Chains A and B, each alone.
Chain A
Amino acid sequence: MEYIYSVLILIGINIIMASSFNLIIGYGGLISIAHPIFFALAGYCSAIVSMKFGVPIPLAIVLGTLFSTVLSVALSLPSLRVSGDYLLIASIGFQLGFVEVIKNIEAAGAASGLTGIPALYSGPLRSPAFVVTILAVAALVVWLVHRMTHGDYGRAIQAMRDDEECFTSLGRNATAIKVAIFAVGSGVAGLAGALYAHYSQFLSPEQFGIIQSGLILTMVVVGGMGTTWGPVVGALLLTALPQAITFVNLPTAIMAPLQGMIYTGLVLLFLFVRPQGLMAKKVRQ
């Protein structure tokens, strides 16, 4: 049972990560690889303020989320004022740089990881409570992304993607929209990270490497960029698949590279064969 719970939680976390990354890359057209680091920054922030300063956990989670949101603005605002390419370059620096920073901060457990993070829930119903919380947040995030990308705001996002110059000349501030999209997407990743920290009670820099960026991207591409349900399907598939492989009981020396190859293969396969992903948007002119 405990295994089922842990898979469900992983699915929920991945849905949150994929949906929020889809907002950034699929709808916003913003290319960044820094999604995992916003997960990490909020996780560490929430863990540390609750451990060192005794901040109540729910408040710590909020602070962690805000921390990632604010840092995402610090990343996107200066780069997007220059161009979209700068965001990608800056995000690489951000992702790689902060992993190194975390590895060297003693208070964050450095390279060996941060242990003893207080749990959000305790007692016998701890795991099902986490499952319900994470899945509820995942549903909320899917809804939020859907709301943002439809209606008036969604129309503006779409027009911006169609023709940014024409869009601005109608009186719309494209930079503000992009920064907002990036902040919401990164904040949501942060929320996932903070929740995760108080579930697993352990964080280590290995969990947020660039390989995670690839995994989240795979989920979005396979499921379908710029669709509401694509990232959900992608997250389900790509969480279930490695779990299934685990049952074959291969040694980790084979498992790890095998997973990497499967992800890479899937991205390439989909980019060539079905670039719109599984949950294709209806094809329009």
Chain B
Amino acid sequence: MTPLLEVAGLSKHFVTRRGWLRPPHTVRAVEDVSFAIAPGETFALVGESGSGKSTTGRCVLRLTEPTSGAVRFDGEDVLAFPPKRLRAARRDMQMVFQDPYTSLNPRMRAGAIVAEPLEIHRVGSSASRRDRVAELLALVGLDAAHMSRYPHEFSGGQRQRLGLARALALEPKFLVADEPVSALDVSIQAQVINLLMDLQARLGLTYLFIAHDLRLVRHIATRVGVMHQGRLVEVGPTAELFERPAHPYTQQLLASIPSLDPDARRRAS
């Protein structure tokens, strides 16, 4: 199958200054990363904090301009899109963040938050937009009565649902979900994971799922890429990668997952 997303040789270097007396310092956040995601897949990026996962996700959507490399979506070169074409492409590619609180405007009501992308892209009449917002809220399991609430009036799990409703407003094909449940308690995390799996099945979505919870990744991803210091050190189908990790770093990562079986405790180092 032709991939929906193809990333080739992607690099992103940040040049930072630590005081103007010192020479600028280059952070190689992402270095020569290549992978492809087939339609309907959940491709997970794992790795420790600072390994370049979020930067990769942001480069794919061009929320950050890559230093070099190629990103093809549906066969088209995303990096070559002029601004207008890029705006149109954003309808197909959306992002969900770890803490929707920082990504949702605190002074806007839930209904307006979900309606905003529809307004920006001039989708439908104002009456049809209202219906669409109600439909989207129902889709993510929020009550239509929630429409007039502000983000701070929602619980963490509900805010994540609200962020999803907004991301889904323009019927995207592809979602980058950056640690979407990391801030949630396990009982609520399960609700949101179920929702993500349901939405994928109903709407045929493709996910780039960024996470550090390896148990969760094993549960929902079809394929996994392991990042270490900006590089993708191993990619493979989930079951295979978890059963036969090839790269020493992947092996170390998997060996670090606490077992839920008290009898399987690691002995002295």
The answer to whether A and B come from one shared complex is: no
- Chain B residues in contact with chain A, CB under 8 A? none
- Chain A residues in contact with chain B, CB under 8 A? none
